[in-house]
Amino acid sequence: MSNVPIRERLKSFVLRKGRITSNQKKALIDLKDHYLLNEDSKIELFNDTSVALDIGFGAGETTIHLAKTNPELSVIGVEVYLSGIGSVLSRAYREGIENLRIFNGDVVPFMEEKVPDNSLDLVLMFYPDPWPKRKHHKRRLFQQDFLSLISKKLKQGSIFYFKTDWEDYFRDAQKIVQISDGWKEQKREDLANYLKCLPQTSFEKKALSAKRDLKEIILKKIS
Ligand SMILES: C[S@@+](CC[C@H](N)C(=O)[O-])C[C@H]1O[C@@H](n2cnc3c(N)ncnc32)[C@H](O)[C@@H]1O
């Protein structure tokens, strides 16, 4: 494990000026105050409810599904790209979703500073950027220190659900799990029903059409 503090290591993303549609732009302006968490927001905002965190939600298909199918669950989505955030805001508003908050930025400082310890009931990390070249592996989000951060923020007995379509990312993640204490691997059948039938995301569809296998690791925090 690297000795570099998690916040000082290379970012897991490179922000490029992406294309953003006029609808996404409009949603970002009109719905900012309704859904976006800002620098001063605290997660205590969701007092007395169960809280799920979707890390790097992309186009937000999973985030929306979680919020829509679980009105009693408070869902927080974190993403660096505004285009995906714009789409999620517009869809959430159209579908009357209220139990959702979005943070635009890097999930690492967000979790370190904004999320209280032992406060999350579910963390999802689906298809994080694979950084396929070996020289870029240090940019991958799933590393031992990040798994420790997730553990610190999850409540005891809660679930961390990871999916990837990159075989070597999966193998490296498995190795990290093996040397990390306090987790118990779970089977898909053990999951709550709403997690067994999640919608296919655009990234998942791309992976399947490129004939890449979908792999997952499901962990329960036991200590
Ligand atoms: C390959 S996409 C997967 C999107 C989505 N989870 C899915 O299953 O379709 C990975 C996403 O993670 C976001 N991301 C990468 N590093 C991040 C970070 N440190 N904080 C927040 N989002 C991040 C990227 O912008 C990208 O949208």
Domain ranges of the chain: 18-221
Residues near ligand 1 with C-beta < 6 Å? Answer: 12-13, 56-58, 62, 78-81, 84, 106-108, 126-129, 141, 201, 203
- In degrees and rounded to multiples of 5, residue 125 shows phi and psi of -135, 95
DSSP letter for 166, please.
Answer: -
Ligand 1 atom 11, closest CA: 56
Question: Which residue type sits at 112?
Answer: E
Is 219 within 8 Å of 183 (Cβ atoms)? Answer: yes
The DSSP code for 10 is: P
* Distance separating alpha carbons of residues 205 and 213, to the nearest angstrom: 11
Q: What is the pLDDT of residue 77?
A: 98
Of 80, 139, 143, 216, the one to substitute when testing ligand 1's pocket (max ligand atoms within 8 A of C-beta) is: 80
Give this prediction's pTM: 0.96
| 11 CA to centre of ligand 1 in angstroms | 12
**Which alpha helices (DSSP H) does the chain contain, by range?**
22-30, 32-35, 61-69, 82-94, 107-114, 144-153, 167-178, 193-196, 202-209
Active site residues: 129
For each of the chain's 223 residues, which pLDDT tens digit applies?
567 888 888 999 998 888 999 999 999 999 999 999 987 776 665 667 899 999 999 999 999 999 999 999 999 999 999 999 999 999 999 999 999 999 999 999 999 999 999 999 999 999 999 999 999 999 999 999 999 999 999 999 999 999 999 999 999 999 999 999 999 999 999 999 999 999 999 999 999 999 999 999 999 999 9
What's the confidence (pLDDT) of residue 1? 57
Nearest CA to ligand 1 atom 19: 106
CATH class of 18-221: alpha beta
**Residue 202 structure tokens:** 């655009």
Query: What is the pLDDT at residue 56?
Result: 98
Residue among 6, 24, 53, 57 to mutate when testing ligand 1 (max atoms within 8 A of CB): 57
Which of ligand 1's atoms lies nearest the C-alpha of 84?
A: 27
The minimum-distance atom of ligand 1 relative to the CA of 128 is 10
